[in-house]
Every structure is written in structure tokens, then in C-alpha cells.
Chain A
Amino acid sequence: MGKAFGSEPLGKTLYNGKRPRRRREWRGLRDTWYDYTRWLYYLFILGKFMMKPNNFKGFFRYRWMSNYLAVPDFMDRHTEGLRGTALRLAHEGIGLIIIDMTISLTDIFKADPEIGNDTELSKKMVVFDENMMSTLMGGFRNLKWVCYEVPAIYTSSFMCQDGVMHYVDKTQEYGVPGDVCPMPAAELGAALEDDLPKIGVCAIQCNTTCDGSLMGGGLMARSMGIPTFQLASPIRHRQESVQDYAADEIYNAIKFIEEQTGEKYDWDYLFENMDRFNQETKEFLEWLEINKSPYPQLLGATLGFYRYGEYMAAGGRSPIFLETSKKITALATKAYQNKEMACKEYRHRAILWGVQAAYYTAFPNWLMNCWGIVPINDMLCCVSTEMVSTTDKRQALLDLGYLYENMIMRSRSNGGYETGVEDLFRICEQMNVDMVIMYVHIGCKSMAGYHGLFEEEARKRGIHWIWVSHNLMVPLDGTRRDMRTEVNRYMRTILKEEPVDPSLEDFDDSLCW
């Protein structure tokens, strides 16, 4: 029990087979105090959020809102075992996402005809698809980007492991097969259940991650009741020949929004936002450089969550993200210079490839704490790091087109062997890793198609390859414990290793949030 990493057996002290944790983690006086004050801050943010009448009504109107009761636990899960800078980086990064989410939900409920009924606000809102970048909205000074599928489904599932299973069930009752990806299935389920707000003046849908996502969006358009534009981003996005089409589609989407809202696209405003976006990208590249070293700092869930929020949702429009990014860089650089660790032992450096389980986003923390496997980079963070032009309109369209082709997940699930397989091993070499944790998302057809090729390539290069099965938002199909067992088996039977923290090897968290 103390300030050192791994000073207490987390499996025994935190988990008791029930929903709440046995007690808070003791991290030494300084870190515990910091962590506790941050934890109180989140409670304060949530309390403040609930004090607003619209939000209070929204809480009782939408079933998925109950998942947000687990926000404090969510933070505890993603800071488990962390100390010092690693703890602070997690709070800086993930904490901002929580604050951003409350702002977004406040706007949604205010505009919702069943709650705040602010029709003027609703008329300024453009609804975007799930997993779709908001970046092109950077040129509409007076419009609001909104994506209600994110708080309703995507982050809901992060907060509470079985939080969206009800919606998946509804989609299956409707007749959609159980083998499709649960994310679009849950979104469709929420639409079928009339559990999504009817807001916005128009909507942009996109062929984001996969075939299932595209189809779910198509059906959802029926229930939106507003004009929708389908932005078709090219699939073979590494081919030079598709870039003009990508840019043209961005242009068509902009024209559509202009027609529906009467707003004019403000290129200067876009360039201003893209300049910020570019600076954020530069900060991100710094973090990757640090992670290539023997003292990586921004790891696992911290890196993943923050990058998602910054790259996909904020899209350069929010100054606070750049400020936070700079703060993160400063913290990480200092920690690197001081040769600080993020867990007790660094035994293996790993890339997490495939899609993470939304119901177990704290899995990377477990990898570090239990086995000393350091998640150096995550497939979802391996997105475009190209700069967007801030001077030339056509070039900016081409750059935006490329960004949309390289949205999180899509950049790897689309594009073929080159992006899904070849790039992985190139990144392994760059990041100096010896292990790949390969998520087998049961409903994801894109990565599953490379199953044999992955194994053959890993074998050729002598990289440890651990398959970890899950079903994204349906924990029943592959529980958190099942996921851990797959790693445990490999570590024990193939590598003959003993865990860093044996109490974490097997414990029951099936009832936890």
C-alpha cells in the first residue's frame, strides 16, 4: 500500500464481485489526494450538469442517460494502478472528454423538442453520423455540430458495460442478424425505440467504419425526419486516384449544408480551425516520438480516448483541446526526461490492433498492471497525421477528403491489406514492439478476413500474437474475464511468465459498471 506502482494487490483490494468497488485505491498521500480531488471535481461537474432542468428531464427521458451515473467509476477504472505523471495524464486527457460530453449533452437537451424545445438552436444544428469526423463543420461559424449517437451509444457503452445491450436486442428483434457489429445495431435499436432526440436542421451520414455501419445509418435516416446527405468517402484510400472524389464529396456535403441552413461556408474560419487542428496533430506526433523510446508516457486508454475526442469530435474547433494537448506534451516530456514509468514493470511493448471492446476500455490498464504489457499504440490512434492546408481552398478540400477517408477505425478497416496488415508490422518496427494484442471483434468482418495472414506475418517476424475476442458492446459474447483469460493463457503457456500482480490474473467483474 503506497505510492509505488503495484504496491497493493488490486484484484483483491478493489474487486469483490459486486457492482461498486470495495474501496478507493490508495496511491500514497500525494497521488491519492490528487486523484480524490479530481474525482470530486467530476462529481461536481455531474452535479452542475444535473442542476439544469433540461438535463434533469433528459436524464429521465432517455434510458441511455442512466449509464452516465457510472462516470466516477469510469474514471477509477481508467486510472487503475496509475501513479505520478501517468495518473495526471489520464485525468487531463480523459477528464476533458467528460467535460466536453456534458457540454454536448446540454446542447442536445436544450434543442430537444421533448425537453428544452429551443427551435432556434435546433435549426442551427447539423447532425453527424457516429464515428464521423466533425472537421468540415470548421467552416460554419454559426452552426453547431452535433452527434447524438456518441453520447447515446458509443460513450454509454464505455461507462457501463451492458449499457446498450437493450438496444442491440431491439435491433435483433426487428430482424437484423446477431452477427453484425453491435455499434450500428445499438444505434438503430435506439432509433427504433424512439430513444434519440429529434433535433437538427439536416444530417450528414457517412460510410464510416464498415458495411454494417453504413447500412444501419441508411435505416436510421428513415427515423430522423430531416434531410440527410450521404457522404461517400472512398474505400481504397491509399490510392492517389481516389483523392479527387473524396474532395468532391466534401464539397458536396458543404453545399448541402449551405442549402439546408442558408449559411455560407467561411473559409477563413476553416483555416483558423485547421491551423489549430494541425498544431494538435504536431503535439500528437510528439507523444508518439516519446512512446517510441524506452520510457513511453501516453499509453492505452489515455491515448485512445483523448485522440478520439480531439481528432474526431473537436476537429480543431475547440481551443481547450489544444491547450490540453500542450499541457499533456509538457507533462509527458518531463516524465520522459525523468525516466518515469507508467506501471511497475515493462516486460513487453505491445500494439493493440483491431477494435477495442467498448465495454472494456480499461483493458490496457489491466495489461500493464497484471502482466507488464505496455500498450504503446492503439490501432484507433493510427490515423492521418497529415497537415491540412490553411491557405488553399482546393488543397484544403483534398486534405479534408483525406481526413474523412482516415477517420478513426475507418483508416484501418478500409483501404485493404496495405492499411490493415502491412502497416501494422511497419508500426511494430517503428515503435519497437515485441507483441501484438489483436482484438477479435466478433462482428467486425474487416479485420477477421486477415486472420490467417496476420498469423503468418507475425510468425515470420517473431512477434508474439495474442488474440483477444470480444463483441464490442455485448459483453455476454465475450466477457471481460474471457478477454483476460486469453492473455493469461498465452502468458503462462507460451511465455511461461508469472504475473506482475497475481491478484489481477483472475477476478470477477461481471457485475461491475
Chain B
Amino acid sequence: MKDLKHLYYFEKLLEESYNDLCRKGQEDGNIAIGHVCFQIPEPLLNLPGCFSTRLRAPRTGSIEMGTYYMSSTLCEACRAYLERAIEGGFNFLDCILAPDACAQMNRCVENIEHQNLINKETFFVTYADVPMKSDETALKHYVKQMRIRVLEPLNEHFGIDISDQALRMAVKEQNEISRLISAIGDYRKLECPKITGYEFAVFCLASYVCPKYLIKDKLKETLEELKTREPDPADKYRIRAVMVGSEIDDPEFIKLAEECGALIVADRFCFGSLPGRQEIELTEDEDALTQICRTYLQWGKCPRFFNQEKVMERREYVDYLAKEYQADGLIYEQIKFCDYWGYERAAAFHIMDEEYGYPVLSVDRPYAVRSSGQLRTRIQAFVERVEMKKLAAKKNGRAE
């Protein structure tokens, strides 16, 4: 396919944590909020006068200091973020509003705070207790936590307007971005997708790390461009797969999978669009904060939700995505040392295969995957397995 006009621009943006748009956002007088987990609803961090940027550590090399402070058996992403903070890569942040969602990310943020790594005088960190279930009791708690750990500190420290009206404005802006991202992503459902998983991941990721109002125009143009884009022939990629798992904040991993012949048609991972880039529907009969929190509780597909309804829902959702995006197989991935996904991935490997009938590849991976020959081999083998299965099914169909 012909290169998308703005792809290179977005790729360049993703090469830095403190990218040009974050700079521009601050020059426009906005507060930069460090964001580390899906569990803090984005609209709360993108109220008028502030924008969120999700922490990541692009072009990570050595993570020795991060490893010293957090030991070698912790998630490499968390260690890489800490390393980046030690290097001064997050000095532009005005605050980090973190949930205590997984112990490892929490330790990363606590290290950033207690080592005083961010040198702005006004910098602060809060930790919200976010629920692990999705019922009404949990919602009440969630709303309370978001109010006192996110909204009120923003108001107290920076005078940010946290009124219901401001929240609705933030939702409106996010919905606009979500509509664009979803519309772009829908082109992956086609038999001959007009956009690759990698390209989509670049656009989607940018929407998590840049001020939203600054990327809107380019996303609109990209959507227009896609309408007339000539797709690659259907056989360019050997299989279609859903990528499921923990954080992927580097689209290179998607690229690696696609280079091996597995077109990633759906992104069910942290930093992905499914869920996260759907519209938040607000009504007038209830306050916006409660509705936003309810939406995020419903969206939440992190394995930390441990009530059985949520456990089942996660599998059903992947099944739905595989059908909707006509996937031939599932790739469950996790960054090494993630306890949540370690168990979820192992269980899914059996359950999604035995009970739902999908071929599943289950891999753990380092944070930086660019040069991983091992991963390449695993994915290639998976592609061959699924391809053989498809051929066998075709043959059987013909024989019948």
C-alpha cells in the first residue's frame, strides 16, 4: 500500500516521551499530566487546561539503574520508565496521577516520587485505589477515589475547572478522537484491510501520548485518505490475528508480527483501541463523573478485575473481536514478569483453544522487541501452524 501521508509524522512523534506536541501543549498553557494506567479515565486528565500523556520509554537501551532500584524480576516496562525518569525524560511533567492497579507500576511511580526524580517545584503524585470488580459498590468507591485523588488535586494545585460541565467538554473532545480512531480502525475489518495493524497502532498510540486537540486534524485527514486508499491484495499477509495482552507501547512489536505474516486486525491490549477508543455516552440524568467511571468499569478488560463475570467477559470479548475482525488466530502476549497476564495468558492458551476453537500463540516478551529473533521465530511458527490449519480446512471443505 502507498504510505499514509501523516504516518511518518506520527512515527517521529512517538520517538520521544516529551514529543513536539506535548511541548506545544505546554506552550499553550496546559498542565502535562503523567498517566500510567487505563484505570484513570482519560477525560479526567484532559479537562480544559490540562492534557495527559501516557508514560512510555521509546528507544530504550540499558535499564540498569531501573533494575538496581526495582530488581531484575520486575516488569521491564516499569523498569524502563523508571530509567527514563532517572535520565530526566519526564521532567516536563507537572504531576503523575496514578492508580494502584498493579504492584509493579505502583513501585515504579513510587520510585519516581521518592527519589525526587522530577524537579519541578510544583510536581506531585497521587495514588488512587481503584476497584478490582465492576459492581455498584465498586462504582461508588471508584467515583469517590477519582474525585479525591484526581479531580480535587488538579483543582487545588492548578486551579483546573472540575465542574460537571468541564467533564462533559473533556468527554466530548475524547469522543471526537475516539470516533476518528474507531473509524480508522474499522478499515481493518475489510477482507483486504486498508490499514495495517502497525499503522493503526501508530495513530492510536499517538492519541494516548499527545494532547488530543493537536492531533485531531491529522487524524481527520488520515481518515479521508483511507477512503480512497488502494489496499494490498488479500494474500499479502498469511493470517489475520487479534493481539491480546499487556502493554504494547511500541508499535515495532506489531510490525514484527506483520513482517512474519500475521496481520494484526484487532488490538485488545493496553494502549490499544479495544477497548478505550469507543465513545462515552453521557446522559443528563446523572453526573458526568459517575457515568465516566461506570463506562471505564465496563470497558476494563485488565485481568486485575477478578470477579468471575469479568473473567468470562474478557474471553467473550476476545471471541467477539475475533469474529468481528475475521481473525484466524489469537496472539496472547505479555511483558515478562507481569503476574496478571502471566496467569491470564496461560489460561487463555487452553480455554480459547479448547472452548472457543481458536489457534492461540502464547508468548512473553521483553519490553524492547525490535531485534528479538526468538519472538520472530515463535510468530513465524504460529503463522505456519494457522496457515496449515486453514489449508486443511479448505481441503476438507472441498472433499465434502
B307 / chain A contacts, CB cutoff of 8 Å? 230, 232
**B237 CB to closest chain A CB, in angstroms?**
27
Chain B contact residue count (CB 8 A cutoff) = 53
A177 touches B103 (CB 8 A): no
Contacting residues of chain A (209-233) with chain B, CB-CB under 8 angstroms: 210-212, 214-219, 221, 228, 230, 232
In the assembly, what is the distance between CA of A440 and CA of B133, in Å? 31
Give the interface segment out of B26-34, B161-169, B189-197, B334-342. Answer: B334-342
A218 touches B306 (CB 8 A): yes
A249 touches B343 (CB 8 A): no
Flag whether A157 is at the interface (Cβ < 8 A). Answer: no
A232 / chain B contacts, CB cutoff of 8 Å? 131-133, 138, 306-307
**A501 CB to closest chain B CB, in angstroms?**
32
A417 / chain B contacts, CB cutoff of 8 Å? 110, 113-114
Flag whether B380 is at the interface (Cβ < 8 A). Answer: no
Q: Give the size category of A's interface with B.
A: 35 or more
In the assembly, what is the distance between CA of A361 and CA of B212, in Å? 54
Contacting residues of chain A (447-464) with chain B, CB-CB under 8 angstroms: 448-453
B339 touches A449 (CB 8 A): no
Contacting residues of chain A (239-267) with chain B, CB-CB under 8 angstroms: 239, 241-242, 244-245, 248-249, 252
Q: With A230-B307, A446-B103 known to touch, is A174 a contact of B346 (CB < 8 Å)?
A: yes
A212 touches B111 (CB 8 A): no
Flag whether B102 is at the interface (Cβ < 8 A). Answer: yes
Give the interface segment out of B66-74, B271-279, B282-290. Answer: B66-74
B346 / chain A contacts, CB cutoff of 8 Å? 174-177
In the assembly, what is the distance between CA of A446 and CA of B106, in Å? 9
Q: Find B339's partner among A174, A212, A217 (CB 8 Å cutoff).
A: A212
In the assembly, what is the distance between CA of A215 and CA of B131, in Å? 15
B306 touches A214 (CB 8 A): yes
**B75 CB to closest chain A CB, in angstroms?**
8
B342 touches A449 (CB 8 A): no
In the assembly, what is the distance between CA of A6 and CA of B350, in Å? 55
A175 touches B345 (CB 8 A): yes
Flag whether B137 is at the interface (Cβ < 8 A). Answer: yes
Scan A194-216; emit 1 where CB is below 8 A from any B CB, else 0: 00000000000101001110111
In the assembly, what is the distance between CA of A452 and CA of B83, in Å? 13
In the assembly, what is the distance between CA of A205 and CA of B133, in Å? 12
A221 touches B308 (CB 8 A): yes
A448 touches B73 (CB 8 A): yes
Flag whether B141 is at the interface (Cβ < 8 A). Answer: yes
A235 touches B339 (CB 8 A): no
**A263 CB to closest chain B CB, in angstroms?**
22
A228 / chain B contacts, CB cutoff of 8 Å? 308
Flag whether A180 is at the interface (Cβ < 8 A). Answer: yes
B337 / chain A contacts, CB cutoff of 8 Å? 177, 179, 445
In the assembly, what is the distance between CA of A177 and CA of B104, in Å? 16
Scan B132-167; emit 1 where CB is below 8 A from any A CB, else 0: 110001101100110010000000000000000000
Contacting residues of chain B (343-399) with chain A, CB-CB under 8 angstroms: 343-347, 349-350, 362, 364
Flag whether B108 is at the interface (Cβ < 8 A). Answer: yes
Q: Find A210's partner among B70, B311, B339, B345 (CB 8 Å cutoff).
A: B339
Scan A176-202; emit 1 where CB is below 8 A from any B CB, else 0: 110111000000000000000000000
Q: With A174-B346, A175-B346 known to touch, is A445 a contact of B306 (CB < 8 Å)?
A: no
A156 / chain B contacts, CB cutoff of 8 Å? none
Q: Find A215's partner among B100, B342, B362 (CB 8 Å cutoff).
A: B342
Flag whether B127 is at the interface (Cβ < 8 A). Answer: yes
Flag whether B319 is at the interface (Cβ < 8 A). Answer: no
Q: With A214-B306, A245-B141 known to touch, is A175 a contact of B102 (CB < 8 Å)?
A: no
> Which A-B residue pairs are the 7 nearest by beta carbons?
A449-B107, A452-B69, A215-B343, A175-B346, A245-B141, A211-B339, A448-B71
B interface, CB within 8 angstroms of A: 68-71, 73-75, 78, 100, 102-104, 106-108, 110-111, 113-115, 127-129, 131-133, 137-138, 140-141, 144-145, 148, 303-304, 306-308, 311, 336-337, 339-340, 342-347, 349-350, 362, 364
- 10 CB contacts below 8 A, A to B, read A175-B346, A181-B339, A211-B103, A211-B340, A218-B343, A235-B129, A245-B140, A449-B78, A453-B69, A453-B111
